[in-house]
Amino acid sequence: MSKDVLVVGGGAIGMLSTLLLARSGAAIHLLEEHSLGKESSWAGGGIVSPLYPWRYGAAVTALAHWSQDFYPGFGKLLLAATGIDPEVHASGLYWLDLDDEAQALAWAAREGRVLRAVDILEVHQRVPVLGPGFERAIHMPGVANVRNPRLVKALRAALLAMPNVTLREHCPVTGFIQEGGLICGVTTAAGEIRAQRVVLAAGAWSGELLATLGLKLPVEPVKGQMILFKCAEDFLPSMVLAKGRYAIPRRDGHVLVGSTLEHAGFDKTPTEQALASLRASAIELLPALADAEVVGHWAGLRPGSPEDIPFIGALPGYEGLWLNCGHYRNGLVLAPASCQLLADLMAGREPIIDPTPYSPAGRLG
């Protein structure tokens, strides 16, 4: 069997890459080791912004800005096409007691983003459930969050409706087919699958797969644990972030609190220690959560990469192999721009942004 393009990895990056590539009419085969969208894309918080956008370089900022502007319309398109609402919810975000508040405000002025310092009394008026003891705040009103489990469900439904897309779940890829320096497919437990081009979008597992070619991709798993509370629908009107922990309101009243940063290999086991730490942070931020039920606790693996800059583009010396991986904590944030950039490069179109910072050339070991 042969396809125009094989996409390895069925998270948000892999599914959206497939969607955009398929729109050109190419025959796409998407392979996922487990179930589509059930790894870090499902496990994350879904804030449509880097947690501290001013702390990133220009490469991440360019992808983030393009994606943030794209998400509201994209959510509506997915809802219209699939009947599944990803719930792109522009709740805004308050950062509390930042050490680098001045740098944040300077960054916003330079980048033309709406961000302002607000009196802490105003924050308590707008977020009455906020805990005491905070002294300073900055606010970005336009920041949205997307309900990521619904986003990946909508993407899967959209792909199932495309006649030129084949989805294969529970199909682990074990290596690449290489002939004369050309990558022309992959090997799986079910046999070989050939294609003119292969896109590697396997998140934290991307390095493991490239190692089968003797390449060292500096992408490693970074574990993050989250907890979910059930509250009244109007409990939390805005996202809040302090001391590295955040609370995210969903439209139905669920409040998501995260997250940990752990270097524990590929272990995704939730721990009691993390549960206690996250719950303590939640109660410090929003004391009323002390009486709320924890209805979920899980862990996911982020694909950590140097300077958090993803690898997007062709891999030199391995014709036919393309990368779209290494987004660390920002996979959902950067997915639209990353996948559009990849699609532009693969189609030979003028790219949406300068692709140079993301090129795999010279960045692998």
Write down the pLDDT at residue 322. Answer: 98
- The whole-number mean pLDDT for each consecutive block of 10 residues of the chain, a chain of 365 residues, reads 84 98 95 96 95 96 96 96 96 97 97 96 98 98 95 98 97 96 94 97 97 96 97 95 96 95 95 97 98 96 94 97 97 97 97 98 88
What CATH number does the domain located at 2-47+150-218+306-358 have? 3.50.50.60
Residue intervals in the chain for CATH 3.30.9.10: 93-141+220-304
Write down the pLDDT at residue 151. Answer: 97
Write down the pLDDT at residue 3. Answer: 67
Count of CB atoms situated within 10 Å of the CB of 174:
11
Write down the pLDDT at residue 1. Answer: 41
- Chain-centroid distance of CA 15 in Å reads 12
Residue intervals in the chain for CATH 3.50.50.60: 2-47+150-218+306-358
Write down the pLDDT at residue 181. Answer: 87
> DSSP secondary structure string, 88-129?
-B---EEEES-TTHHHHHHHHHHHT---EEE-HHHHHHHSTT
Q: Which residue has the tokens 């719950």?
A: 279
Write down the pLDDT at residue 63. Answer: 98
User: Which CATH class for the 93-141+220-304 domain?
Assistant: alpha beta
Nearest-angstrom CA–CA distance, 277 and 64: 29
